[in-house]
Amino acid sequence: MPDEPIIEIRQLTKTYRVYQKPEGLWASVRGLVRRRYREVRAVRGIDLTVEKGEFVAFLGPNGAGKTTTLKLLSGVISPTSGTARVMGYIPWKRENAYRRRFALVMGQKNQLWWDLPAQESFRLHRHIYGLDEAAFESARDELTELLGVRHLLQQPVRELSLGERMKMELIAALLHRPEVLFLDEPTIGLDVVAQHNIQEFLREYQRSRGITILLTSHYMKDVSALCQRLVIIASGGIHYDGSLSGIIDTFSKHKIVTLLFAEGSFPHAAERVLAPYGEVKEVQPPRIKLRVERTKVAETLSALLARYSLDDVSVEDLPLEDVIAQVFEHVDHQEEARVG
């Protein structure tokens, strides 16, 4: 008999009542007596299953319902309707047994004491989760070694760089060896080097421990570096659930064609001359990048090779962020048609 999914969501919905503040002084005064509200459906009846050991990207535009879903799964808030189980637990029951088996890291929220060294916050976590001294020290030493921050344990958190603080946040979240990790924008605001370090750590830790990770991020490099599966939520509902290559095949209608012209053959007024072959994206003589419809790539290359002397040609998929943007645009059009 196959194992049950580690995360199982069925028709999960979260609706908020939001106060409509009227404009103008007198309207605001009347609003104190008779308030008007509107309903905001942050999550609209989503269905999702995640198997044990998966590393899943959960993407969507601002306001799509990503963070709300993570808060529901971690028990921070309760749903309006629907069900969810994580490792067999109903998250919003907030059972201690469940709390000991998952962790939530939010890139814009701190769980460490600002004026104290991270080491002190770690010890507080040890008592919260009831870890014995040996287990605590083993986990702390392993994590600080992997992240290269052992020498910073005695330094007040406020004196750490943003990247160092995020490493400490991850250590705090992983000290009790959770089986499920929810990550909400873990690399937000980090420089390229810090992002790469966090990615390397998450990849290695997930591989070695086999934990299940659900990641939200606006950095597509996080997604392409870490996740095999991509779930896109927009307007409160799921619009894609599959592989990275699958989303490119499904939604990307173009390819990027890079042309390297032979010496002396770079065309005069290149942007105008090459415009009939595709959208000129970049001109750096002797190299030009064109955005060409997928179905016309072979035809376009044949025409270019017949007319110009080229030293090299490459054909690539659009960057993942461009494809995701196309998905969001597609969803917006669907929503406009539905409302209209």
Q: What is the DSSP string of 117-179?
A: BHHHHHHHHHHHHT--HHHHHHHHHHHHHHHT-GGGTTSBGGGS-HHHHHHHHHHHHHTT--S
Residue 84 has pLDDT above 90, yes or no: yes
Per-residue pLDDT at 90: 97
- Surface-to-core class of residue 215, CB atoms within 10 Å of its CB (0-12 exposed, 13-18 middle, 19+ buried): buried
Residue 336 has pLDDT above 80, yes or no: no
- Mean pLDDT of all residues in 102-120: 89
Residue 35 has pLDDT above 90, yes or no: no
The number of beta carbons lying within 10 Å of the beta carbon of residue 297 is: 17
pTM for the structure as a whole: 0.85
Q: pLDDT band at 33, cuts 50/70/90? A: low
Residue 333 has pLDDT above 80, yes or no: no
Per-residue pLDDT at 1: 44
Query: Percent of the chain beyond pLDDT 70?
Result: 92
Residue 298 has pLDDT above 70, yes or no: yes
Instruction: Tell which wins on pLDDT, 339 or 170.
Output: 170
Q: Of 251, 268, 265, 267, give the one whose Cα is nearest residue 310.
A: 265
Q: pLDDT band at 236, cuts 50/70/90? A: confident
What gap in Å lies between CA 59 and CA 218, rounded to an integer?
7
Parallel, antiparallel or unpaired: strands 180-184 and 102-106? parallel
Q: Please list the residue range(s) of the chain that carry CATH number 3.40.50.300.
A: 7-248
Residue 25 has pLDDT above 70, yes or no: no
Residue 99 has pLDDT above 80, yes or no: yes
- Mean pLDDT of all residues in 128-136: 94
End-to-end CA distance of the chain: 47
Q: Please list the residue range(s) of the chain that carry CATH number 3.30.70.980.
A: 253-317
The pLDDT tens digits for 175-206 are 999 999 999 999 888 889 999 999 999 999 99
Q: What is the pLDDT of the chain when averaged over all its residues? A: 90
CATH number for the region 7-248 comes to 3.40.50.300
Across 2-16, 79-93, 211-225, the highest mean pLDDT is recorded for 79-93
Per-residue pLDDT at 32: 63
Q: How far is CA 154 from the centre of its chain?
A: 31
H-helix or E-strand spanning residue 125: helix 118-129
> Structurally, what CATH architecture does the domain formed by 253-317 represent?
2-Layer Sandwich (3.30)
What gap in Å lies between CA 169 and CA 182, rounded to an integer?
13
